[in-house]
Chains A and B, each alone.
Chain A
Amino acid sequence: MSERSDSDDVGEHVRTELIQFVRALRRDGAAVPANAAPTAARALAAVGLENRRRVRTALRASLLTDSADFETFDRLFEAFWRRLTAGLEDERSLSSLAAESDGLAPLGEPAVDENAPGESTDSDHAGRATGRSLAESFATAAPADTDADSDDTEATAALYSPSGVASTVDGRALTDAGDLSTAFRELTRALAGLQGRRFEPGSDRAAIRRALRTSVSTGGTVLSLPKRERQRTDVRALVVVDVSQSVIDAVDRGFLIDVLRQARRHWRDTRVFFFDEELREVTEAVDAPSSQAAIAALEAAETAWGGGTQIGGSLEGLRERAPDAIDRRTVVFVISDGLDRGDVGVLERELSWIARRAKRVLWLNPLAATASYEPAARGMAAALPYIDGLFAFADPSDVVELARQLRQQGVGGRIGYEFDTRENRQTTTRTVTNT
């Protein structure tokens, strides 16, 4: 245990300002652990108060746990430093404080810092030409703009509208829940089957280590051979839905809502975002007691259907506002036709970030339900290198096909709309449901 507590090492003024600083950080949304303030006090005692850069580094290391909070920290630190130094000067000069307080031992070579109120000098080490090795130290101390896709879609489908007119949701043509339930169960099984390396008791292969362990108690006789198999873990997902006019004209809204509700109900952790020209989270609204209630909740929340599409900008908003929504366990579904009126460079940049972070990225495109579909739209073409599969998405049979391909080929295999072998795909032309 430390010989002294932080209370011995820093003065009342420093403690007070530190507590105020921690409160301000928390108030502005930074994730500061409960025990961070005492740790920060010890850190200040270790680095001293003479050098602004060291104080800043010490507090960043001890108070923060996420680089996303750096901006908040930097903004609040300026005020903290002003109050701290002003208070210290009121009590005594900084130099005399450093000399009197053995708990604020300087750290050797002072760093160059034009903002520091005074440069510290390390009398203990000033005579040294070079620093000691760490081992020596230890020893001494030790104790917008596409049209290609539209050309291929059926005439009754809505053409791409660069800035469609927004309309609030209404529920029509709800899909047969039975069909979707079966399809969704298949999808869940397929996604769970993709999961990692962890084993659990099962039937796939012999568990040699467990067999040896249990045989110790029987003198080395193996009475039964335990088996193990890859663990099926719960599905975690993020669903980002393009609700621009061109998409909702091509997909059954009831079907879409039911898919989202099934995902919320059956998967471990699913967050749902809608976007057109901006992004908004609708997870809570999707959780309403029934599909109609969910749609009503979305209406009440003034979620607009239709309008233009800024896919890249919306994904940028996702990264900025909810970066923790995606991690290596998350399967990301983007439901969009890929008709983007935003900056395609932004789309590429954001998708590359998502692809690096997510477990899988699957793009569900209602236009891909058409047999002659080709991802020639600028946004869709830009997205292709960053996604693990592009699939049709218009009715429950598309969900079944998605699950079938995932189960048979795995995500690394030959999957996607181009390997959709449904016979009716060659003859059926999707019609718009929004009539």
Chain B
Amino acid sequence: MEDEPTTAFADVTERDVHTAFEEQDYVAEDEIVTTVLLALRLGKPLLVEGEPGAGKTELAKVLASSLGDELIRLQCYEGLTAEHALYEWNYTKQLLAVQSGADPEASVFSEDYLLERPLLRALRHDGDFPPVLLIDEIDRADDEFEALLLEVLSDFQVSVPELGTVSAERPPIVIVTSNRTRALSDALKRRCLYLHVEPPSVEKETAILCRKVPQLDGVVATELCAMAARLREEPLRKPPGAAETIDWARAIATMRDDGDGTLSRETLQNTLGCLLKEVEDVERVDDDLLTDLLDAAEQARADP
């Protein structure tokens, strides 16, 4: 059986995680709480998959805030290489050192010339608490980068040819997110615990709005969530996530100057840009669909 890293969170309870989420206004189902707890207790990276806007990245931010330590974020993209993720040599400084000829015996491949990038910084973190390492949207990176991650995720160490092996004294809490735009390798997946974050239900989304946009009337929040849910039933190119609904709610809260607790058709039409990000999706919202949305809001108001 492969060795597992020591975890620093053997004493953490489900209640602790739940409280941490509550304090950060992160609305999470029991399944998320239990899975996060397992990741902490077992010391394993957590692979979080789900639709954009489901709250994957926010999960890592909340954990970092709760731990009171650093969030180290590696945003993945196509073409991401080891030098952007791990470390890089400060070539300019090396050149100056070589040209100045100050100490011919000193190596220019030493700590003084090393530029840490997110992965190395997470492994060499020297705080009181482990950092949270967020590897965001891993599915955007190439297969080669995935292979690079394997050593980091399984052993919490990495090899720097000029310096030797760098191991983490306090393994970071690793959250890997994916939008499932491509299949990840089995090697990566088997190193992680797995969590699939479902798009929020109307009830959950309403609870999120009440926490994130407290200035918004509760009834209006319910209406907005019902309309967002109705909109997601349409075959959109980019369905709105919870983040878009929050933006929309903030816009509505800013614009509202009445107290009748209802949304007008005009307000709805003028603010749809907060929800929809593709021109084809905006064009899809015709008079009929607007009527459907308002009907959904009315029904939610009548049957909270």
Contacts and interface: CB of A to CB of B under 8 A. Distances in A.
A189 interface: no
A385 B278 CA distance: 10
Contact of A138 (B3, B12, B37, B92): B12
A141 B42 contact: no
A198 B142 contact: yes
15 contacts: A2-B3, A35-B2, A42-B42, A53-B34, A66-B194, A108-B13, A125-B13, A131-B13, A131-B17, A197-B77, A199-B79, A216-B91, A327-B139, A327-B182, A386-B235
Q: Which 3 A-B pairs have the closest CB atoms?
A: A108-B13, A33-B190, A131-B19
Interface residues of B, number: 76
Given A6-B1, A215-B91, A349-B235, 17 more contacts: A2-B4, A38-B2, A46-B42, A58-B34, A107-B34, A111-B30, A125-B13, A128-B15, A134-B12, A134-B63, A136-B16, A138-B130, A198-B142, A212-B92, A231-B79, A350-B235, A352-B235
B45 to A, nearest CB: 12
Contact of B42 (A43, A124, A135, A324): A43
A232 interface: no
Interface string B84-127: 00000101101100110000000010000000000000000000
Given A142-B8, A329-B182, A216 B95 contact: yes
Contacts of A65: 47, 184, 186, 189-190, 192, 194
B303 interface: no
B66 interface: yes
A137 B16 contact: yes
B38 A220 contact: no
Contact of A1 (B3, B44, B139): B3
Nearest to B43: A2
Contact of A61 (B6, B9, B38, B190): B38
Contacts of B49: 67
Contacts of B189: 33, 65
A67 B196 contact: yes
A34 interface: yes
A264 B124 CA distance: 47
B261 interface: no
A138 B9 contact: yes
A325 B165 CA distance: 38
A5 interface: yes
A38 B241 CA distance: 36
Contacts of B237: 352, 355-356, 385-386
A53 B37 CA distance: 14
Interface string A331-358: 0000000000000010011111001110
Nearest to B23: A133
Contacts of A57: 30-31, 34-35, 38
Interface string B206-235: 000000000000000000000000000001
Interface of B: 1-6, 8-20, 23, 30-31, 34-35, 37-42, 44, 47, 49, 63, 66-69, 77-79, 83, 89, 91-92, 94-95, 98-99, 108, 128-130, 139-140, 142, 180-184, 186, 189-190, 192-196, 235-238, 280, 283-284
Contacts of A46: 37-38, 41-42
B79 A197 contact: yes
Nearest to A32: B190
A178 interface: no
B8 A357 contact: no
A70 interface: yes
A133 B66 contact: yes
B1 A135 contact: no
A137 B12 contact: yes
Contacts of B130: 138
Interface string A49-80: 00001100110111011110010000000000
Contacts of B40: 134
A31 B186 contact: yes
B11 A137 contact: yes
Contacts of A132: 16, 19
Interface string A91-123: 000000000000000011101000000000010
A39 B13 contact: no
Contacts of A38: 1-2
Contacts of A130: 15, 19
Contacts of B180: 357
Contacts of A136: 16
Given A125-B13, A125-B15, A62 B38 contact: yes
A29 B10 CA distance: 34
A351 B42 CA distance: 40
A82 interface: no
Nearest to A128: B15
A345 B13 contact: no
Nearest to A345: B235
